[in-house]
Structure 1
Amino acid sequence: MTYHTPSIPCQAVYEIKKSQFLAFAYPIDSKDQVMFHVEQLKSAYPDARHHCTAYIIGDPNNTTSAGFDDDGEPNGTAGRPILNVLQHKSIGNVLVVVVRYFGGIKLGAGGLTRAYATATQMVVDNMVLMPFIAKSKVKVVTDFAHEAQIRYLVGQVAGKIIGVDYGQAVIISVQMESEQLADFKMSLGVYGEVVDG
C-alpha cells in the first residue's frame, strides 16, 4: 500500500476560450472533510457555474472510498477526468474541486474533459506530496511506577503520546506507524498492556 498524499492545500488556474477553471486540492481522510471543503468553495465562489469534485480516501489503487460529481456538467466530462488524474498519479487521501467560470464559448464534451483533466494536472503539479504511512492508535494500561518506561518505549518506535488519563491506573493513548505496533507490544513486557488497538 504505497501511495502519496498532499501535505498541504494548494491551487492552480487554467484558462481556455475565456472559461476559467480554478482547481483546489486538499488533504483529507473523511467524507465529512469532502463536504466541508466543497461547501466552503461554494460560499467563496457563489457565482461560478460549476463546482466539480473528485476524491479518494485511502489507497488510490483500491477505490472503494472514492467518488466524483459533475455538478451539472455533461455526464462524465468533469468529475471522472479529475478522478482519473488522481488515480493515474497514485494520490490518495485527497480532494480536488474544480470551480468553473463559463466564458461564453462552448468547449464541447471532449474539450470539457481535457480542460478538467488539465486543471487537475496543474494542481497536482503544485502539490507537496509525501508518502502515506499507515498509523495506529492504541491505549496502554500501566501503573504510575512504569509510566516513564512506557514513555521511553513509545519513543523507541518513534511513536507519539496523544493523551494520558490518570485514574486507578495510567492509560496512555499512543499513535505510531502501524508496522511498529507488533515490536512495541513485544517490548512492553511487564511494564504495561495494550487494551485497545
Structure 2
Amino acid sequence: MLECYRIPSGNLMIEEEIKHSRFISFLFHCNSLDDLKLVLTNIKRDYPGASHYCYAYVSGAPNDGVQMGSSDDGEPAGSAGRPMLAVLQGANIGEIGAVVVRYYGGTKLGVGGLVRAYTSGLRQGLNQLTTEIKQIRYPARLQCDYTQLRDVEHLLTQLDAVITDKQFTEVIDVQFQIGKQQRELLVEWLATLSQGSLRAEFDL
C-alpha cells in the first residue's frame, strides 16, 4: 500500500475551442463524492446553459479502485467520463476531480473526436497543476505526565504526526496519527526522552 502520494494543492482551469464547441476543463482537490458534487453545482451555477457537464474523480489514493467514478452526462457512452477518468488515473495523483463543461457549437465530433476533446484540457492541465505530498497516517496513542506534554507534542510535530485528541485526567492521554515509516523513530525517541517510561500504542 502507498504510504504517501501526490494530491492537488490548487485548482486549474483550461479553456479551448474545438470545431466551434467550447470546452472548459477544471481540475481540483476532491476527497469525496460530496466534494465533487459541490464543485459541480458551483460550476453549473457559474457556467449556465452548457450542453454537457462531464466529470471524473479519484477521491482516494491513485491506485484506489473503489473511490472513483465518472459521468458522460448525455454524451455517447464512453466518450467523455471514462476517458477523463483514465487520464486522471494515468497521472498518478490522488484525491483529484475533473469537470469538463461543453458548449455545443453545431459540429458533431464523433466518439473519437469527443474522447480527444474531453481529455485534451485535462492533459494540458495536469502538466501545470501544482501538487503536494500527502502522508498516510495511522491511529496511535500514548500516555504522559503533564510535565512531559510539551516534549511529546514537539516530538510528534518533528515526525509529521497529527494530534487528534487529548484527554486530561491524572495523566494525559494523547491520541494521534502517524506514518508507518515514522513509528520506529518515535519508539526510539520516546525511550530516550523518558528513560523507557513512555510507550506508544499503534492500532494498525
Contact 1:27 1:93 in 2 (8 A): yes
Q: Which residue of 1 aligns with 2:119?
A: 117
Distance across 1 between alignment mates of 2:38 and 2:169: 37
- CA deviations over 1:68-102 (Å, ceiling 9, x no partner): 11111110000011111111221221001111111
Q: Of 2, 7, 17, which aligns to 1:5?
A: 7
Q: Which residue of 1 aligns with 2:77?
A: 75
Report deviation, 1:107: 1.1
- CA deviations over 1:125-177 (Å, ceiling 9, x no partner): 22012344323354433231221231232134233445544345423343443
Contact 2:84 2:119 in 1 (8 A): yes
Report deviation, 1:12: 0.9
Q: How many residues align?
A: 197
Output the TM-score relative to the length of structure 1.
0.85
Contact 1:12 1:126 in 2 (8 A): no
Gaps of 5+ in 1: none
- Percent of residue pairs bearing the same amino acid type: 32
Distance across 2 between alignment mates of 1:185 and 1:29: 31
Contact 2:56 2:71 in 1 (8 A): yes
Q: Which residue of 1 aligns with 2:153?
A: 151
Q: Of 80, 89, 95, which aligns to 2:97?
A: 95
Q: Which residue of 2 aligns with 1:62?
A: 64
Distance across 2 between alignment mates of 1:50 and 1:77: 12
Contact 2:164 2:175 in 1 (8 A): yes
Aligned positions of 1:33-72 closer than 5 A: 33-72=35-74
Distance across 2 between alignment mates of 1:130 and 1:149: 28
Contact 2:138 2:203 in 1 (8 A): no
Contact 1:54 1:96 in 2 (8 A): yes
Q: 2:28 is paired with a residue of what secondary structure?
A: strand
Q: 1:58 is paired with a residue of what secondary structure?
A: coil
Structure 1 residues 137-146 or 89-98, which shifts more?
137-146
Gaps of 5+ in 2: 191-195
Contact 2:7 2:95 in 1 (8 A): yes
